[in-house]
Amino acid sequence: MAITFNSAAVDGGSSLTGIYAHIVAVDGPKKTDADADEGISESWHVTYGVVCHKDASTRALDNPGWPNRIPAKPIDRFKWSAANLGTYPTMAVLYSHLKTEIASIATSIADA
């Protein structure tokens, strides 16, 4: 799974089209306990990293490390949370969340 999008908010501000992004390093779910004194209710969260490439073919050539990756600091890690975790969040749920998060910096978003 992956998404593609157009944006100028990555790679030092140059406008790029067809950026290929995929989720890496999923961590969780983790439970945050309720704290009545702090007004915090029990919740669950998952964090995940995002790696961007110029396009899908560049992604296919990527080796471990950073040589073919686009710097994308504004979108390199996100947190998905839910008040009550009935089931483990699937990758589809996380990609839907990623699309919502990227919407603020992208001119178009599509599933890849």
Tell me the domain boundaries of the chain: 3-105
pTM, whole model, 2 decimals? 0.74
From CA 109, how far away is CA 55, in angstroms rounded? 13
Q: CA 110 → CA 3, 51, 80, 85, 101, distances in Å?
A: 6, 16, 20, 27, 13
pLDDT tens, the chain, 112 aa long: 888 888 877 766 667 888 888 898 898 888 777 655 566 667 788 899 998 888 787 777 766 666 677 777 778 888 888 876 666 678 888 888 999 888 888 888 888 8
Extract the tokens encoding 107.
Answer: 């001119």
Extract the tokens encoding 4.
Answer: 């593609």
Res 48: pLDDT: 93
